[in-house]
């Protein structure tokens, strides 16, 4: 078992967004944060695990390494798993789900390995095993080394706990937050999304501007662990700094249902006073009064909705409107199709890395302030 004051914490990233997640972790003071394939490694005690779930906008999960040992056959795994100090982390009254993977190891049958660990937990600790359990123990066997981790998050972290209404082909909150970061959004400027759907970009920007923490309203799996201290957690959650914003964050969509969804989500998130959602077609959008800021948009793309000819026309119209009416504003455009991005005729900078959006490969295209 790892020293509980010096745990290895793995922040799971959306593939392609490891770098901005690492930048966020460093900015928020997580120790030894470094980007690796699939996420970010850092270190800390259990309170840092709680804080990661509470404050990080870009992490999909927070996994905690519990420790491990070498094993070359199932009998050895069984014996050592029974001696593992599960009671330091797990509770005997909380159901557990065990998941296992094996790579380049003599124990090659992940299902058999999982069964041994399930039995070890049940017989040594007494905790029930359930495929429906919200608390997951993860076994990774690689080159004959068995490593145990626990998923401290439970539900994926893009589920902030206050978004109910979802529009067609939604952008996940964790991805939206990292795209905002990649566009250098820093809470000091307005944001406008002219195809807002259920309002994800606008609501994320408003929450950032107000200092509202992404995990403030939801439950986490770590609350079911033996290491959890409810009094310390309540204090952590209640001593956050919130800000006042003199800005408004704007969303519009031609679909009335999407606009109503966005309004409902903004109210549940507590940002309705600084957000404005209107039903508008693309041709009707104009720069709002006040300072210039960031336009960020996730239009339909070929792999998602619509046909190529119609989409090319849509992107062309978007580019014309932005160039004509949004001088001084920067643009962030998320799409899977580089030719559609070019169809806007916007002065695009080199695109960001490929990002896996539910199996679709997308990229962020940005501009400097338009002239």
The answer to whether 28 and 55 are in contact (CB under 8 A) is: yes
Instruction: Provide the pLDDT confidence category of residue 287 given band limits of 50, 70 and 90.
Output: very high
pLDDT more than 70, % of the chain: 96
At 233 the pLDDT is 97
- Residue appearing with tokens 């124990």: 107
Instruction: Provide the pLDDT confidence category of residue 167 given band limits of 50, 70 and 90.
Output: low
At 130 the pLDDT is 97
234: which residues sit within 8 A by CB, 6+ positions away?
A: none
pLDDT per residue as tens digits for the range 217-229: 999 999 999 999 9
pLDDT at residue 193 greater than cutoff 80: yes
pLDDT at residue 4 greater than cutoff 90: no
Count of CB atoms within 10 A of residue 17's CB?
A: 27
At 123 the pLDDT is 97
At 81 the pLDDT is 98
At 169 the pLDDT is 58
pLDDT per residue as tens digits for the range 332-345: 999 999 999 999 99
Residue spans in the chain of domains classed CATH 3.30.2130.30: 7-151
At 165 the pLDDT is 60
pLDDT per residue as tens digits for the range 112-143: 999 999 999 999 999 999 999 999 999 999 99
Instruction: Provide the pLDDT confidence category of residue 275 given band limits of 50, 70 and 90.
Output: very high
Q: What is the mean pLDDT of residues 187-212?
A: 96
At 358 the pLDDT is 87
Rg (CA), the chain: 23
C-alpha distance from residue 326 to each of 9, 285, 319, 341 (Å): 43, 10, 10, 18
pLDDT at residue 170 greater than cutoff 80: no
Alpha-carbon distance of 122 to 120, in angstroms, equals 6
Q: Which CATH architecture has domain 7-151?
A: 2-Layer Sandwich (3.30)
Q: What is the mean pLDDT of residues 308-325?
A: 95
pLDDT at residue 183 greater than cutoff 80: yes
Q: What is the mean pLDDT of residues 244-257?
A: 95
- Mean pLDDT (the chain) is 95
Instruction: Provide the pLDDT confidence category of residue 241 given band limits of 50, 70 and 90.
Output: confident
Taken as a whole, the chain contains a residue count of 371
Greater model confidence, 359 or 148: 148
Instruction: Provide the pLDDT confidence category of residue 166 given band limits of 50, 70 and 90.
Output: low
The model carries a pTM of 0.94
Residue spans in the chain of domains classed CATH 3.40.50.150: 173-213+246-366
Instruction: Provide the pLDDT confidence category of residue 239 given band limits of 50, 70 and 90.
Output: confident
- Matching CATH number, 173-213+246-366, of 1.10.1530.10, 3.40.50.150, 2.60.40.10, 2.30.110.10: 3.40.50.150
- CB-hemisphere CA count at 13 Å for 94? 19
pLDDT at residue 48 greater than cutoff 90: yes
Sheet holding 61-70, edge to edge: 31-36, 39-44, 7-12, 61-70, 145-151, 136-142, 97-103
19-28, 36-45, 268-277, 294-303, range with the lowest pLDDT = 294-303
At 168 the pLDDT is 58
């Amino acid at each position: 078992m790892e020293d509980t004051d010096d745990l290895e914490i793995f922040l799971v990233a959306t593939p392609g967004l490891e770098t901005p997640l690492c930048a966020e972790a460093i900015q928020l003071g997580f120790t030894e944060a470094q980007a690796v394939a699939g996420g970010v490694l850092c270190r800390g005690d259990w309170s840092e695990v709680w804080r990661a779930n509470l404050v990080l906008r870009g992490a999909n999960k927070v996994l905690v390494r519990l420790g491990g040992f070498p094993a070359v056959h199932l009998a050895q795994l069984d014996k050592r798993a029974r001696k593992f100090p599960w009671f330091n982390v797990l509770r005997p009254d909380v159901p557990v789900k065990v998941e296992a993977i094996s790579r380049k190891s003599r124990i090659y049958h992940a299902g058999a390995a999982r069964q041994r660990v399930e039995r070890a937990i049940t017989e040594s600790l007494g905790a029930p095993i359930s495929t429906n359990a919200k608390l997951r123990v993860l076994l990774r066997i690689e080159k004959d080394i068995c490593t145990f981790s626990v998923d401290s998050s439970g539900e994926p972290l893009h589920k902030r706990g206050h978004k109910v209404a979802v529009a067609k082909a939604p952008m996940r909150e964790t991805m939206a937050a990292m795209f905002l970061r990649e566009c250098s959004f820093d809470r000091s400027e307005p944001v406008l999304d002219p195809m807002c759907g259920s309002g994800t970009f606008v609501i994320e920007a408003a929450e950032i501007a107000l200092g509202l923490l992404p995990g403030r309203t939801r439950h986490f799996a770590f609350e079911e662990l033996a290491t959890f201290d409810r009094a310390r957690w309540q204090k952590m959650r209640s001593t956050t700094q919130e800000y006042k914003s003199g800005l408004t964050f704007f969303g519009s969509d031609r679909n009335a249902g999407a606009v109503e969804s966005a309004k409902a989500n903004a109210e549940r998130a507590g940002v309705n006073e600084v957000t404005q959602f209107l039903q508008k077609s693309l041709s009707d959008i104009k720069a709002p009064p006040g300072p210039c800021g960031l336009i960020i948009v996730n239009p339909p793309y070929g792999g998602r909705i619509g046909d190529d000819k119609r989409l090319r026309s849509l992107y062309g119209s978007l580019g014309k409107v932005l160039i004509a009416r949004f001088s001084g504003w920067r643009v962030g455009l998320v799409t899977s199709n580089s030719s559609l991005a070019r169809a806007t005729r916007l002065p695009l900078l080199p695109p960001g890395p490929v990002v896996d959006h539910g199996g679709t490969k997308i990229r962020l295209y940005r501009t400097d302030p338009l002239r």
